[in-house]
Structure 1
Amino acid sequence: MMKRISTLLFIACLSCSAIAQQTSRAVMDGFMDKRFGMFIHWGPVALRGEEIGWSRDKQISKADYDQLYKEFNPVLFNADEWVKTAKDAGMKYLTITARHHDGFCLWPSAFTEYDIAATPYKKDIVGALAKACKKAGIRFCIYYSVLDWYHPEYPIHSAHDQTPDPKSDINKYIVFMKAQLKELLTNYDPYMLWFDGGWEKPWTNEMGKDMYAYLKSIKPDVIINNRLGKEIAAVENKKIDAAAMVGDYDTPEQVVGRMNMNMPWESCFTICRQWAWKPNDKMKSLKECLFILEKTAGGNGNLLFNVGPMPDGRIEARQVARLKEMGDWLQKNGSAIYGTWGGPFSPTDQYAATRNGNKIFIHVLKTDTTQLSLPVIEGRKINKAFVLGTQQAVTYSQQEGKINLTLTPATLNYVIVLEMDGDVMKAPVI
């Protein structure tokens, strides 16, 4: 049963329709410099090993799914260990599904009883992670779904039946959303809010704009993704109109986003196949993980890389180990990822490129390559070419409009530094 919201709060929430100031360029530049973050999809559904939200009313009946919270007791959850896993992986921010499409809240909310306080565990997951992130120097971020198939006032009650409920009232639901989001902003001070679910028909672009303005009135510098609105690249990797976007950056899903030097974007990927934990789910190899990270950075985007913790609160040891391998690679090659821009060469399946100052970093993605040919950068010449981390010299020539590199086959992705005779940050993407 939902807790009541006062009439005064109802009026205050509905009256917030001011035009919001977009997040500043400096704040967004700081976000994009981080390049690599941890996504965490977790909730009572881990008890069944099925997908969060989407399995409700399909693999798991609504009646069963909606009662799982009564069994949810992750006694081995340790926020510091989760954050250490992120930090050891080289991740700079962490985003937790505080509330997914199923409506369950991982924090003790004053506005619903369908939350962590009603479980046998009872402790505040969101609060523990916020505290652990602050202690470790990791930016704390919150995922919150626009839709809620559990809430009686949200018109759609199942992903698999889009018939609107005539008894529901979307305006009352928006009041509830605003109350919860104010609660999250006030209590946990997130760096970024990651919305999802705005594609369903009951939610309109105008509602998204109003919500964006409302959140900015509470915390002007909070970063907000673009899923409050309808203009998103999503799984189709659509080319979108940045001017029509509601939010600060685009969110391609399970695909590396398009090269874009003007609009910030962040691709989200799963380390396995499912977002939530699944027993024996196939995990990506280290080469696959690095390919995604490097190609994303080469396109000038961030990577939000997802893990799904187990029902007892632990992240699987094999996932922790894979992330640590990524972190070890970043210990050696991080200067080619963090604080760089994509380009000046568009990424391919053979290589990606990032840049900083007078250096171009060539990420060799196809490690059996022995020859690589790149376009020349107009007005610039190579002074030096070497492998990042080992300083091993790389043979090169620059003639007839081409840069030719002679490579040594390797077992794992590596980075070649092209030290140019001047700054390359203004060079157009080729």
Structure 2
Amino acid sequence: MMKFIKEAANVRPSKKQLDWFEMEYYAFIHFGPNTFTDKEWGDGSENPEIFNPTKLDCNQWVEAIKLAGMKGMVLTAKHHDGFCLWPSKYTEHSVKNSPYRGDIVKEAADACRKGGIKFGFYLSPWDRNSKYYGTPEYNDYFCNQLTELLTEYGDIFYVWFDNACGEGPNGKKQIYDFPRYFDLIHKHQPNAVIFNDFGPDIRWCGNEAGSARHAEWAVVPSELCYYGEIQTGAGPMADQGSLSWIYSTEKELGTMANILYSKGLVFAPSEIDISIRPGWFWHEEEEPHSLERLFKTYLASVGSNSSLNLNLPPTREGLIDKRDIQRLKELKELLNSEFGKEIAVTIEKVQGEPITQPIYNIVLQEPVNSIKYVVLQEDIAQGQRVESFRILIGSPSGHQYPIYQGTTIGYKKICQLQNPFAEQNPLLDDTRTTILKIQIQITSARDEVLLKEIKLY
């Protein structure tokens, strides 16, 4: 048992996974025939003539992305309808037969480089237009298109796949050759991280609502992410049962209750993807989500050992909607307000007998009346280890009050003590209470705790 837990504590990310974590926050761009048909899923029969963005400006997209503080773009180069935003040599269902006749993938990639952000793409494996779909030849077709995108548009930081498949219970169904797809990516863009429900690098969080688990682990069973690199032996209970069905929608993915039954563990953190408005494609009647919801999603992703892939759908003109830009501006202003002024502290680590239960005494250099957030980061390069912790606050009288209980930390955990949209917590915002120090107690970990940063705001 102890040998396996030690192994679990030392499952480590690759360099490109670490780079992905540090991005934290990037943009999805859903754009295509659906933008003009007012649909979410096209059926592949759309006439390319309908695709005519008369004011398309990818530089404007990048300006909006940077306004929000995001560091990259993931463009839907092809959605389920099979329509390609680049002039692919392998299909006529593309921009080359539209009134636009440009190469939007190139324009987007060039705009990202000009604006100093990273570029990636989503290529839908499900293609409702291709005559090859549902046959062995389709994987050749898909690999040809994937190769075009990997070799003609410069550095790619992210290749995003979903697992949507088929035309219904009685329709054609395609067996996707994901290992072959991954090999192409490794060959042409070795620094690109790959998103897929089952790994190898990044996995889906299990919903598109911006919701997070109570404990988000980047170290998960290989039965969940079977394309990932197994870094441990089998769990001590693996021969007494099996994780015969485990999927991204499960509430418990990396906790002790399931890893003990695994045949091996992989490092595969989750991404939370959500659109800024109800639909993934632009619909004129829709409004962006509230600032409160977007901020909550930020905390549930960037602040909970995940990343945030926030969709910004261009209009039929080919521009990010001014309503969405305004909401992005508000979000950035709120983030600057909430995390713009760090409280100066000194930190003392008290190492007790168990190396898995250290205490961090944090003394404020100047007393304050309010603390809104405590931000914790593990040295994730060494593995994810903390299973639970708590935060206590000290008053001038010497009393300590527990104010927060948490589970995992991982790359980053933003512990929200005060919600800017709710009534203030009188314990943490009361002129009669001067806060001089707080204490962080790690109550459970899989090995020696290696916190990288502790910040107060």
**The two structures share one fold, judged by TM-score above 0.5:** yes
Distance in 2 separating the partners of 1:310 and 1:147? 24
8 Å CA contact 1:232–1:245 kept in 2: the answer is no
Greater helix share, structure number: 1
Query: Under a length normalisation based on structure 1, what TM-score does the superposition of the two structures give?
Result: 0.67
1:245 has 2:242 as partner: no
% identity of equivalent residues:
26
Q: 2:285 aligns with which of 274, 280, 289?
A: 280
The answer to whether structure 1 residue 426 and structure 2 residue 442 are counterparts is: no
2:376 matched to which residue of 1?
none
1:151 corresponds to 2:148: no
Q: What is the deviation of 1:130? A: 0.4
Root mean square deviation of aligned Cα: 4.3
1:93 is aligned to 2:72:
yes
Give the letter for the 1:49 counterpart.
Answer: D
Which residue of 2 is the match for residue 235 of structure 1? 207
Deviations, residues 143-164 of structure 1 (Å, cap 9, x unaligned) = 0111101101102xxxxxxxxx
Equivalent position to 1:397, from 394, 417, 421 = 394
Counterpart position of 2:386:
none
- The answer for the alignment partner of 2:325 in structure 1 is 320
2:56 pairs with one of 59, 72, 77: 77
Paired letter, 1:176: Y
Distance 1:192 1:413, change over 3 A: farther
Shift in alpha-carbon separation, 1:100–1:427, aligned structure 2, 3 A: same
Q: Is the contact between residue 347 and residue 360 of structure 2 (CA under 8 Å) also seen in structure 1? A: no
Contact conserved, 1:209 with 1:228, CA < 8 A, in 2?
A: no
Q: Which one of 189, 195, 207 corresponds to residue 219 of structure 1? A: 189
Whole-angstrom distance in 2 between the partners of 1:37 and 1:422: 31
Mapped contact 1:101–1:197 kept (Cα < 8 A): no
More strand by share: 2
Distance in 2, Cα, partners of 1:115 & 1:97:
13
User: Could you say what secondary structure the match of 1:235 adopts?
Assistant: coil
Aligned partners of 2:322 and 2:298: how far apart in 1? 21
Q: State the Cα distance separating 1:295 from its structure 2 match.
A: 1.6
Pairing 1:352-391 to 2, within 5 Å after superposition: 378-384=358-364, 387=371
Q: Please state if 1:25 is matched with 2:14.
A: yes
Between Structure 1 and Structure 2, how many residues are aligned?
339
Deviation at 1:215, TM superposition (A): 2.1
Gap regions ≥5 residues in structure 1: 1-22, 57-61, 156-168, 338-356, 360-376, 390-394
What amino acid is the match of 2:394?
S
Alignment match, 1:160: none
Task: Pick from 143, 158, 161 the counterpart of residue 195 of structure 1.
Answer: 161
- Name the aligned partner's letter for residue 235 of structure 1: N
Secondary structure of 1:177's counterpart equals: helix
In the TM superposition, residue 308 of structure 1 has moved relative to its aligned partner by: 1.6
- Describe how 1:81-230 pairs up with structure 2 within 5 A: 81-155=60-134, 169=135, 171-188=136-153, 189-200=155-166, 202-204=173-175, 207-227=177-197
Change (3 A) 1:74 1:248: farther
Alpha-carbon contact 1:89-1:327 (below 8 Å) kept: yes
Rounded to whole Å, the distance in 2 between the matches of 1:93 and 1:43 is 20
Q: Which amino acid aligns with 1:329?
A: L
> Residue deviations 1:45-69, cap 9 Å, x none?
211222143xx3xxxxx65xx21x2
- Is contact 1:228–1:247 with CA below 8 Å preserved after alignment? yes
Q: What is the letter of the counterpart of residue 182 of structure 1?
A: T
State the AA in 2 paired with 1:184: L
**Deviation, structure 1 residue 203:** 4.2
- Give the whole-Å Cα distance in 1 for the aligned partners of 2:289 and 2:333: 17
Are the structure 2 counterparts of residues 108 and 194 from structure 1 closer, same or farther at C-alpha, using a change threshold of 3 Å? Answer: same
Partner of 2:32: 43
- Contact 1:195/1:228 (CA < 8 Å) preserved in 2? no
Shift of 1:191: 1.1
Query: In structure 2, what is the Cα distance between the partners aligned to 1:124 and 1:418?
Result: 58
TM-score normalised by length of structure 2? 0.63
Q: Which residue of 2 aligns with 1:14?
A: none
State the AA in 2 paired with 1:245.
Answer: C
